[in-house]
């Protein structure tokens, strides 16, 4: 009797194995199982990872490394979609969105914030110094100034020139060119197994004044579940908001998908639900509690940076198209 059961069970194993494997449950493309580790979006993620790594390698906390990492990108005037040097909205104003989340799920966020170079640090203060999660616009600026942040001009000469050139046609379409999408999202797992993440952007260039994208929205641009993993999004925020993308990726990991497979399923969900997806880029990046990571995007071209004890590299994400 027992033998018959065992035989039946073992006959089913290949089928179960192949079903799980086709779901990516064994992490075919996620070859690492290590910590600490940090991953972040786009080429500029490498410099951000380096700053995050200094904290992680000294036994620091993941959320601290996430904040320190993305601050590098926020301060870099050559990056035209994050912080200082970010391209302005259609009225010539640089408006910034950012959020941060720790291993307990605690989080803070700012949106439509002007004149402050490090919105991620303001988001951190919202998380730690207020009973709220999100502050926007004038209220966020007032809070930042109360917290000692400096009011600065964030519109660089290069960004002003790009805006001038855009004004010649002034097409008021909130469209992200597929080549113009380099928000930084950074996810970290520290030596003690704690997770943290941050996401920061100046959003879509020449957007409508007041437009807020996915990046400051917990669940859309970023989601961290300390028991499962973390995910972040880049690209056309409207598509990510409509599908609550980062939460979806983490939920898929909870259900057993590898990070890469979870990202792919989330991109496929966007493609199934939003008919205009081919006109836009969306990329997801995910990291689980084992230190496995993966990414997937709509258009070719999305890169992500990985830093761990053995790895320091830039990878190209697979894409739907």
With CB under 6 A as the contact rule, the residue among 68, 204, 298, 306 that binds ligand SD4 is 204
Based on the shown chain and the rule CB under 6 A, indicate whether residue 243 belongs to the binding site for ligand SD4: no
Catalytic residue among 41, 73, 81, 183: 183
**Both tokens of residue 178?**
């597929």
Based on the shown chain and the rule CB under 6 A, indicate whether residue 237 belongs to the binding site for ligand SD4: yes
- What's the min distance (Å) between Cβ of 177 and ligand SD4? 10
Closest CA to 41 of 305, 317, 307, 259: 305
Strand partners, 287: 230, 293
At 282 the three-state DSSP class reads: strand
- What's the min distance (Å) between Cβ of 95 and ligand SD4? 10
- Confirm whether 243 is a catalytic residue: no
Q: 314 — phi, psi (to 5°)? A: -110, 130
- What's the min distance (Å) between Cβ of 275 and ligand SD4? 19
Measured torsion, CA atoms of residues 197, 198, 204, 208, in degrees rounded to the nearest 10: 120
Q: Using CA atoms, how far apart are residues 215 and 47, in angstroms rounded to an integer?
A: 20
- What's the min distance (Å) between Cβ of 164 and ligand SD4? 21
**Both tokens of residue 271?**
């493609």
Contact code string over 158-197 relative to ligand SD4, x by CB under 6 A: -----------------------xxx--------------
Stretch that binds ligand SD4, among 117-125, 235-243, 257-265, 272-280 (CB under 6 A): 235-243
Q: Using CA atoms, how far apart are residues 187 and 39, in angstroms rounded to an integer?
A: 5
Contact code string over 122-161 relative to ligand SD4, x by CB under 6 A: ----------------------------------------
With CB under 6 A as the contact rule, the residue among 27, 108, 119, 235 that binds ligand SD4 is 235
- What's the min distance (Å) between Cβ of 61 and ligand SD4? 26
Based on the shown chain and the rule CB under 6 A, indicate whether residue 109 belongs to the binding site for ligand SD4: no
Based on the shown chain and the rule CB under 6 A, indicate whether residue 213 belongs to the binding site for ligand SD4: yes
Based on the shown chain and the rule CB under 6 A, indicate whether residue 65 belongs to the binding site for ligand SD4: no
Going by their DSSP bridges, the two strands 107-113 and 134-136 should be labelled as parallel
Q: Using CA atoms, how far apart are residues 245 and 250, in angstroms rounded to an integer?
A: 9
- Alpha carbon distances (Å) from 207 to 87, 112, 148, 272: 10, 12, 29, 26
With CB under 6 A as the contact rule, the residue among 32, 234, 265, 299 that binds ligand SD4 is 234
The residue (of 41 and 265) whose beta carbon lies closer to ligand SD4 is: 41
- Alpha carbon distances (Å) from 74 to 19, 68, 83: 43, 10, 4
At 285 the three-state DSSP class reads: strand
Q: Are 270 and 280 in contact (CB under 8 A)?
A: no
Query: 222 preceded by cis ω (within 30°)?
Result: no
Q: Are 114 and 212 in contact (CB under 8 A)?
A: no
The residue (of 44 and 61) whose beta carbon lies closer to ligand SD4 is: 44
Based on the shown chain and the rule CB under 6 A, indicate whether residue 67 belongs to the binding site for ligand SD4: no
- What's the min distance (Å) between Cβ of 234 and ligand SD4? 3
Q: Which residues are catalytic?
A: 183
Q: Which residues bind ligand SD4 (CB under 6 A)?
A: 81, 181-183, 201, 203-204, 213-215, 234-237
């Amino acid at each position: 009797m027992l033998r018959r059961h065992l035989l039946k069970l073992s006959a089913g194993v290949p089928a179960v194995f192949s079903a799980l494997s086709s779901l990516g449950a064994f992490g075919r493309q996620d070859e690492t199982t290590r910590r600490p580790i940090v991953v972040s979006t786009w080429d500029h993620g490498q410099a951000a990872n380096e700053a995050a790594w200094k904290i992680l390698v000294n036994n620091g906390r993941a959320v601290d490394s996430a904040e320190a990492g993305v601050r590098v990108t926020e301060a870099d005037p050559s990056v035209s979609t994050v912080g200082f040097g970010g391209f302005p909205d259609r009225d010539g104003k640089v408006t910034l969105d950012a959020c941060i989340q720790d291993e307990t799920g605690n989080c803070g966020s700012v949106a439509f914030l002007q004149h402050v170079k490090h919105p991620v640090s303001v988001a951190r203060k919202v998380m730690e110094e207020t009973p709220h999660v999100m502050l926007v616009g004038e209220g966020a600026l007032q809070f930042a100034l109360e917290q000692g942040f400096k009011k600065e001009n964030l519109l660089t000469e290069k960004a002003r020139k790009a805006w001038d050139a855009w004004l010649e046609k002034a097409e008021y379409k909130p469209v992200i060119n597929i080549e113009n999408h380099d928000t930084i999202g950074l996810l970290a797992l520290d030596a003690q197994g704690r997770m943290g993440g941050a996401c920061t952007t100046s959003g879509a260039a020449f957007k409508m004044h007041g437009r807020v994208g996915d990046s400051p929205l917990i669940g859309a641009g970023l989601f961290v579940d300390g028991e499962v993993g973390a995910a972040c999004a880049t690209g056309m925020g409207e598509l990510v908001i409509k599908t609550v993308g980062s939460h979806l990726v983490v939920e898929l990991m909870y259900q057993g998908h590898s990070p890469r497979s979870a990202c792919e399923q989330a991109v496929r969900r966007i493609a199934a639900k939003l008919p205009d997806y081919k006109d836009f880029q969306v990329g997801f990046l995910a990291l689980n509690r084992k230190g496995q990571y993966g990414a997937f995007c709509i258009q070719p071209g999305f890169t992500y940076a990985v830093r761990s004890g053995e790895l320091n590299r830039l990878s190209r994400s697979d894409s739907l198209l």
